[in-house]
Amino acid sequence: MNNNLIIPNHIGIIMDGNGRWAQEKGLARTMGHKKAVETLKDLCIYMADVGVKYCSLYAFSTENFKRDIKEVNFLMDLFITIFEKEFAFLIDKGVKVIFSGRRKPLSDKVLKAMDKIVEDTKSNKKLVLNICLNYGSHAEIIDTTKKICDMYKNGKINLDDIDEEFISKNLYNDLPPLDFVIRTSGELRLSNFMMWQASYAEFYFPKTYFPDFNSIEFDKAILEFNNRNRRFGGIK
């Protein structure tokens, strides 16, 4: 990677195309998810090394529960393996894992594995990896609204306390805005991913399926980001 390039502070990745990657190779869709884990492990190290400070990953949406029950169960078991074993190496790589999403109806086993990786990596400072699991932007806005209404009802805040900063701080996690959102596989949708946080993000839609999204593809994405002219609604 060229040292003169600007590295986005917060990158969002919609990891799409696992199923198609596998199907095009005559494999079961689940094999695409397995390969995606390997890709992701390499990418985490690479992002931490090049200086990405925050990365939000769309692992499982609130809508993904509509998938075939066998695939949902496979993914839940895979998540447990990822958080218990595959991601253990992140503890020594400076990566702090956090989660965004609803805990219900995730199983106790999944929740336990999530809580453990959060606890084990809580002191890390190099890269914050925000895993969106059972996540949806609409759900996040509903949950945040309820939380804020409760604070108001209990006399903890006044209506005038509610501004952009206050809402940001009361979302699932207090994160900086997304600078760059990458959705692999050529689909051109946000699919309920971090709508509040992505309001001024640049978008990039490579055709590559996520299992093939390696560091070379990541470098191409960063180059593209550097060619964008970010105006944030102003004139430049």
- Which range touches ligand FPP (CB under 6 A), out of 17-25, 102-110, 146-154, 226-234? 17-25
Q: Does 13 bind ligand FPP (CB under 6 A)?
A: no
DSSP SS3 for 67: coil
Catalytic residue among 3, 4, 42, 64: 64
Q: Does 135 bind ligand FPP (CB under 6 A)?
A: no
Q: In what order do the strands lie in the sheet with 180-183?
A: 95-100, 127-135, 54-61, 10-14, 180-183, 202-204
Given a contact cutoff of 8 angstroms between Cβ atoms, the answer to whether 56 and 130 are in contact is yes
- Which range touches ligand FPP (CB under 6 A), out of 1-9, 53-61, 151-159, 197-205? 53-61
What is the enclosing helix (H) or strand (E) of 56? strand 54-61
* Distance, CA of 50 to CA of 43 (rounded, Å): 10
**What sign does the dihedral 104-107-110-112 (CA atoms) show?**
positive
From 8, 10, 11, 15, residue interacting with ligand FPP (rule: CB under 6 A): 15
From 9, 20, 27, 84, residue interacting with ligand FPP (rule: CB under 6 A): 20
In angstroms, what is the minimal distance from the CB of 15 to ligand FPP?
Answer: 5
* Residue 212 annotated among the catalytic residues of the structure: no
In angstroms, what is the minimal distance from the CB of 221 to ligand FPP?
Answer: 18
- Which range touches ligand FPP (CB under 6 A), out of 46-54, 56-64, 144-152, 168-176? 56-64
* Residue 16 annotated among the catalytic residues of the structure: yes
From 8, 13, 43, 79, residue interacting with ligand FPP (rule: CB under 6 A): 79
In angstroms, what is the minimal distance from the CB of 89 to ligand FPP?
Answer: 14
What is the enclosing helix (H) or strand (E) of 71? helix 69-81
29-50 helix and 69-81 helix, angle to the nearest 10 degrees: 40
CB-count burial class (<10 Å; 0-12, 13-18, 19+) for 94: middle
In angstroms, what is the minimal distance from the CB of 54 to ligand FPP?
Answer: 14
Q: Does 127 bind ligand FPP (CB under 6 A)?
A: no
Query: Of residues 171-230, which lie at the interface with ligand FPP (CB under 6 A)?
Result: 185
Contacts by 20-28, CB closer than 8 A, 24 or more apart: 20/185, 20/209, 21/209, 21/210, 21/211, 21/212, 22/211
> Which residues are at the interface with ligand FPP (CB under 6 A)?
15-20, 33, 36-37, 40, 57, 59-60, 64, 78-79, 82, 131, 185
